């Protein structure tokens, strides 16, 4: 069994006629009918659609994390496709999604970062030696570039009398 995220936009009439939790119950029972289990549900409720669907401008959004056998994904999608109360749906493998603990792990990673910068290096002069440029090589000069001077001295210009780019 794999983890999937199922997002469904239901017609508002379903929630109005059968109760506020009807879209969640419908999705949960549909997943169970295909041998899956719902691990988490986020009922967003009434939201404005990006564009009218079936002459409606609002929909009832339900997002659920489910565990489902990969062979049963297509039958679930087919059932959602033929359900007249479903405006749109999307089934995505959860491996493609960021983990749910990303928000809580970020502050811990930031707390560890200052501690790493406070540690003293093993040899104080080792970092300075690694960062110092070799004094044997002179720094490159853009202005003293021989190729750029030769085209300027010869009076050559770019197409249609434009000056060449330095």
Residues 131-138: what's their mean pLDDT?
Answer: 54
Under 8 Å between Cβ of 4 and 91: yes
Residue extents of the structural domains in the chain:
2-96
User: Which single residue is written with the structure tokens 């770019």?
Assistant: 158
Residue 47 pairs with which residues in a beta bridge? 59
Rounded to two decimals, what is the model's pTM? 0.57
Residue 1 has pLDDT above 50, yes or no: yes
**pLDDT of 136-166, one tens digit each?**
555 555 555 554 454 455 555 555 656 666 6
At 34-83, the pLDDT tens digits run: 999 999 999 999 999 999 999 999 999 999 999 999 999 999 999 999 99
CB 53 within 8 A of CB 98: no
Q: Does 3.40.50.300 match the CATH number of domain 2-96? A: no
Determine whether 60 is exposed, middle or buried from the number of CB atoms within 10 Å of its CB (0-12, 13-18, 19+): buried
Q: Quick: pLDDT tens for 81-103.
A: 999 999 999 999 988 666 554 33
pLDDT at 76: 95
In DSSP terms, 7 is beta-bridged to 63, 90
- Total count of residues recorded for the chain: 166
84 and 9 Cβ atoms separated by less than 8 Å: no
């Amino acid at each position: 069994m794999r983890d999937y995220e199922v997002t469904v936009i239901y017609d508002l009439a379903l929630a109005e006629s059968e109760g506020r939790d009807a879209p969640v119950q419908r999705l949960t029972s549909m997943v169970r009918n295909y041998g899956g289990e719902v691990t988490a549900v986020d009922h967003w409720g009434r939201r404005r659609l990006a564009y009218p669907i079936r002459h409606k401008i609002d929909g009832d959004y339900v997002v659920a994390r489910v565990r489902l056998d990969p062979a049963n994904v297509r039958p679930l999608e087919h059932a959602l496709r033929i359900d007249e109360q479903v405006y749109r749906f999307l089934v995505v493998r959860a491996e493609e999604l960021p983990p749910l603990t990303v928000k809580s792990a970020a502050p811990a990673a930031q707390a560890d970062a200052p501690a790493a910068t406070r540690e003293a290096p093993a040899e104080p002069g080792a970092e300075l030696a690694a960062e110092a440029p070799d004094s044997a090589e002179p720094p490159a000069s853009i202005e003293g570039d021989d190729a750029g001077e030769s085209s300027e001295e010869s009076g050559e210009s770019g197409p249609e009398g434009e000056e060449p780019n330095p």
